Amino acid sequence: MMSSNISSILSHQTFMNTSAHNIANVNTDGFIPQNTTIQENSNNSTKAVTSKATDTLSKTSQTNLTKEITDQIAIEKVTKADVVALRAQDEMLGSLLDIKA
């Protein structure tokens, strides 16, 4: 279970990095942002899949700040939940290891 939470944190870090890159280029003429999706693997881990957004042929940046900020809020919430779960698992494992036979 810990590995799935760690995998999720790493995947969401990639997602956050992509979003930050898109925001950093909001004033770059002709910039085509990247989209990231989180996919679940068969072994209960996740991976981030990043691809270029569809080019609208706009001469200005195609970054949608509303989407990027909303995505970042969701990424933050998921990461916090993963950290809480990791801490709980760590405490439970520590308690089990402290039991003396």
Average pLDDT over all residues of the chain = 90
Q: Is residue 77 predicted with pLDDT exceeding 70? A: yes
Bin 44: left if φ > 0, else alpha if -120 < ψ < 50, else beta.
Answer: left
* Residue type present at position 84: V
pLDDT tens for 1-44 read: 578 889 999 999 999 999 999 999 999 999 999 999 999 988 88
- Pairwise CA distance, residues 44 & 99, whole Å: 29
pLDDT tens for 47-67 read: 999 999 999 999 999 999 999
> By the 8 A CB rule, do 53 and 21 touch?
no
Crossing angle of helices 65-98 and 2-24, in 10° steps, is: 160
